[in-house]
Amino acid sequence: MSIQSFVHRFEPAGAPDRPPLLLLHGTGGDETDLMPLGRMLAPGAALLSPRGPVLENGMPRFFRRLAEGVFDEADLRRRAADLAAFVGAARETYGLPAPLAVGFSNGANIAAAMLLLHPEVLAGALLIRAMVPLAEPPAADLAGRPVLILSGSLDPIVPAQNAARLAAQLGAAGAAVTHEVLPAGHGLTQADLARAQAWLAGVQPR
């Protein structure tokens, strides 16, 4: 897997003490989508933003789904391995420590899958509107990795119990999980930004 395997954007760090962010967009986004969010969340952090390689009705995603909320798990596992290999190549090319994933919706779901399938790849994750990615998650060692899950109480796509189950799975693997339910739907809100900024400010580089 090479750095060219994903169309991506990279922005070098202006503040080297901040962990780099791996920005993972939602369905229909691309490699430019979350760059402004990354700059707002962690000013000066290096930003790595790949484009999802799967098209659904012309919209980029990180893995296939069979229906809304029903994932193609074989494809998800393969795509998570590809993305993990890309992150490894990008770290080597750009001289980065392990990044914190910042994922929204589909991007949050593949980030959660990477935590469970390839726990060595990420230093932690901010998962916005994430769902359980794998029906039977593998045993993973996420000892101490910080994870913030931001769910929406009015989200029509992610059932509340599903997000709670994801938080429990990651916690059982040893991650330091904070799960907050905000008065929001599936879209990003100012409350998400404020909560994520405060959380990221307290995350120490690994």
Pull the structure tokens for residue 41. Answer: 């969340």
For residue 181, the cross-strand partners are 151
153 annotated active-site: no
- Do the Cβ atoms of 35 and 49 come closer than 8 Å? yes
Nearest to 118 by CA among 64, 79, 70, 167: 79
- How far apart CA 83 and CA 163 sit, in angstroms, is 23
25 in active site: no
In the annotation, is 49 catalytic?
no
Neighbouring CB atoms inside 10 A of 161's CB total: 9
Phi first, then psi: what are they for 100, rounded to 5°?
A: -90, 130
Choose, from 8, 25, 33, 155, the residue flagged as catalytic: 155
Which of these is catalytic: 49, 105, 151, 179? 105
How far is 140 from 118, CA to CA, in rounded Å?
8
* Catalytic residue set: 105, 155, 186
